[in-house]
Amino acid sequence: MVKNWKDELYVRGYLLTDDAEIFSRNIGLDRDKWAVSRLGSYYLYVSRKETFYVHESEGGLFVLVGHAYNPFSMEHDESAILRSLVLTYGNTPAYRDTFDQLTGIFAYFIIEGNRITAICDCAGMMGAYYGVIHDKTYFSSHAQMIADLTRLAEDPYITALKKSRTFKLYGLYLPYNLSPYSEVKRILPNTEVRIENKTVTLERFYPRMQYCVDPDYASVVSRAAQLLHNNMVLIARKWTHPAISLTGGTDSKTTLACASDVQDRFLYYSYISLPREATDSYAAQKICQTLGLQHEIYEIDTDVSHHDDFYEVDRLIERHYGYLGKGNQNDVCKRICLSEQFHSDIEVKSWVSEVARASRYTKYNKDKLPATMTARMLTSMYKIFIFDRWNALRTDKIFKQYLEETGLLRIIQDTHYPWSEFFVWEIVFGGWGGLALSGEHKLSNNITVPFNNRAILDLMLRTPLEKRKTDQLHRDIMDCMDPRINKLGIHVVNGNETKKREILEGLYFDIHSHLPL
């Protein structure tokens, strides 16, 4: 049976706006598929496949779209979580600490008269875009939704960037807070956007403390492991049939280990849509069989001729991505197949874990990176521009804005946090992760990410660099929660991450970071 994909336009998405006329504009949305709430002078539109919560207090309206849970308090009811945020709202340190404790995929808003404050989840796994256009304010899970409603034209820089031969190499995401449209920006992780009287201000709220490596490494491992375990317990309580997406890699094995005494509450699955995914899938299956857990492998039929709806889904994903590029054929087929076969309440993904793994060191074959970051270094990390100087120089300017407007450069200099992790956190996962989940993955199923927690990531970052570079931290967390997994000796390394590639990318980073133009 062919699915009605028209119903999936901006699925599990949201729109918060003071524009009362949006549904008079026909952009293909079926209003019956969206819940509508009046919040002061704003209207909140939420896909009926998504959840939202509103708490009204004397100070204003507190809104959470998506889901959240707190491994510190063991609270998984969003209404209670909103109440705890309201109670601490007048005490900035306590309020920030409470917010940092949240795991989940959500967008969070505070409406106070003519002022609205917006924050994304820890790593921006829920899409979060905003714009003030024609004197109206818009927040949405999809930049393209705002563009559709306000008839925006693509930013010429984005048009030129898309023409670069290497644009797709590291994923369809953009530098800093850009969207395909100059009027629409992305809310960055660790920052909040405030719009008052149509004037936009940005404020960075993390990091707030001095960085140091905790001398009691064993205690950090134990604490991080327990908090991740708490997340898995909360997921098992919150959803009836959660499923863990497993590979043979470090991140998903750590997630499995942290489920420990609630492993029987989860389903386990992998998929094969490319030949290289078979190695991961069979490794995951072997791990589960050894632990006595049921595991399913989805064989994805990637023959386009077998899917009458392939081109419709392909166009839908392209639209969700803001026309930055088309999805891979296997990924489009994956969404079609999983939407028919995946029957769990929620998929548990192990994304965001990489923030704590010092991945730029291994990517560039480095024992250390320069002490001070520059805009050019971020440009070098973003894309390969060696023969594309116009885009390189324009991207330098954008990353310079990133460092200055968000206060990141000053705060890193003051607090001494390892800077490369913020590129992974705010640009890679913040830019690519939310786009991929909102634009593609949620077409087939809902998703949660247990590593998507600022307080847990901060704790993990306070371990020695060498422990993080070599994945010893993750192995120690596994041993703390379920030592059987490491003892199996099953580990799959990404076949693309070869030593030769690391050396070449390291050379590019060194050379390009110092080019005068």
In a domain, 209, yes or no: no
Minimal CA–CA distance to 475: which of 349, 352, 356, 348?
356
Measure the CA–CA gap between 46 and 55, rounded to whole angstroms.
Answer: 16
In a domain, 303, yes or no: yes
- Residue 495 confidence class, pLDDT cut points 50, 70, 90: low
What is the model's pLDDT at position 58?
84
Matching residue, tokens 């008839």:
151
pLDDT of residue 517 exceeding 90: no
Tell me the two tokens of residue 402: 């990133």
- As a whole-number percent, the residues of the chain with pLDDT over 70 amount to 99
Q: Which long-range contacts (CB under 8 A, 24 or more apart) does 353-356 make?
A: 353/250, 353/251, 353/254, 353/255, 353/451, 353/474, 354/251, 354/424, 354/429, 355/123, 355/421, 355/424, 355/425, 355/429, 355/451, 355/457, 355/461, 356/421, 356/457, 356/460, 356/461, 356/463, 356/468, 356/473
Question: For the domain that residue 22 is a member of, what is the CATH number?
Answer: 3.60.20.10
How many Cβ atoms sit within 10 Å of the Cβ of residue 280? 21
What confidence tens digit (pLDDT) does each residue in 311-348 have?
999 999 999 999 999 989 999 999 999 999 998 999 99
| Residue written as token pair 């920030």 | 96
DSSP string, 280-349: HHHHHHHHHHHHT--EEEEE----GGG-TTHHHHHHHHHHHTTTS-PPPHHHHHHHHHHHHH--SSEEE-
Give the whole-angstrom CA distance, residue 224 versus residue 257: 12
Count CA atoms closer than 13 A to 320's CA, side-chain side: 30
399 and 477 belong to one structural domain: no
Per-residue pLDDT of 424-436, as tens digits, reads: 999 999 999 999 9
Helix (H) or strand (E) segment spanning residue 195 = strand 191-196
Average pLDDT over residues 441-455: 97
Q: Nearest CA to 445 among 302, 328, 345?
A: 345
Residue 497: is its pLDDT beyond 80? no
Domain match, 322 and 382 both: no
444: pLDDT strictly greater than 70 = yes
Strand order in the sheet with 199-204: 52-57, 60-69, 103-112, 115-120, 191-196, 199-204
- Of 142, 169, 204, the last residue of a domain is 204
Task: Provide the 3-class DSSP secondary structure of residue 354.
Answer: helix
Q: Are residues 45 and 165 in the same domain?
A: yes
Same domain, 39 and 120: yes
The two three-digit tokens of residue 87, written as one number? 């109670």
Please give the residue range of the domain that contains residue 402.
Answer: 369-421+504-514
The pLDDT assigned to 21 comes to 86
1 pLDDT exceeds 60?
A: no
> Is residue 136 in a domain?
yes
**Checking DSSP bridges between strand 346-348 and strand 447-448, what pairing results, if any?**
parallel
Query: Would the pLDDT of 50 be above 70?
Result: yes
How do residues 66-118 score in pLDDT, each as one tens digit? Answer: 999 999 999 999 999 999 999 999 899 999 999 999 999 999 999 999 999 99
Q: What is the largest CA-CA distance in the chain?
A: 60
Q: What is the 3-state secondary structure (H, E, C) of 100-161?
A: HCCEEEEEEEEEECCEEEEEECCCCCCCCEEEEECCEEEEECCHHHHHHHHCCCCCHHHHHH
Render pLDDT for 137-186 as a digit per residue (tens, 0 to 9): 999 999 999 999 999 999 999 999 999 988 998 999 999 999 999 999 99
Give the type of residue at 238. K
Q: Distance between CA 38 and CA 16 in Å, rounded?
A: 10
246 pLDDT more than 90: yes
Indicate if 70 and 55 belong to the same structural domain: yes
Is the CB of residue 356 less than 8 Å from the CB of residue 420? no
Q: What is the pLDDT of residue 485?
A: 97
CA gap 225, 255 in Å, rounded = 10
Closest CA to 301 of 327, 340, 269: 340
Tokens 């548990």 map to which residue?
A: 348
| Of the residues 204, 239, 257, the one at which a domain ends | 204
Asked, for residue 362, whether it belongs to a domain, the answer is no
Task: Tell me the C-alpha distance between 331 and 311, whole Å.
Answer: 12
Coil/strand/helix, residue 317: helix
Is 211 inside any structural domain? Answer: no
The confidence band for 32, taking pLDDT boundaries of 50, 70 and 90, is: confident
Helix (H) / strand (E) containing 471: none
Q: Interhelix angle for 92-100 vs 454-461, to 10°? A: 90
Task: Let me know whether 111 and 189 are in one domain.
Answer: yes
Q: What mean pLDDT comes out for the span 196-201?
A: 97
Same domain, 49 and 86: yes
- Assign 423 to helix, strand or coil: helix
Model pTM above 0.95: yes
- Do residues 160 and 109 share a domain? yes
Compute the mean pLDDT over every residue in the chain, rounded to the nearest whole number.
95
Residues 251, 177 within the same domain: no
pLDDT category, 29, cuts 50, 70, 90? Answer: confident
Q: Are residues 70 and 182 in the same domain?
A: yes
Q: Which residue among 204, 234, 262 closes a domain?
A: 204
Total domains present in the chain = 3
Q: Are residues 262 and 393 in the same domain?
A: no
User: Strand, coil or helix: what is 488?
Assistant: coil
Is residue 67 a part of any domain in this protein?
yes
CA distance 162 to 182: 15
CATH number of the CATH domain containing 276 = 3.40.50.620
**19 and 159 housed in the same domain:** yes
Indicate whether 212 belongs to any domain.
Answer: no
Instruction: Give the pLDDT of residue 2.
Output: 61
Residue 374 forms part of a structural domain: yes
Q: What are phi and psi of 29, to 5 degrees?
A: -85, 135
> For residues 305 and 139, what is the distance between their CA atoms, to the nearest angstrom?
38
Band the pLDDT of 460: cuts 50, 70, 90: very high
The 185-186 sheet, strands edge to edge: 34-39, 42-47, 14-17, 136-140, 129-133, 185-186
Question: What would the mean pLDDT of 9-33 be, rounded to a whole number?
Answer: 90
Q: Which residue has the higher pLDDT, 387 or 406?
A: 406
Percent of the chain with pLDDT over 90: 92
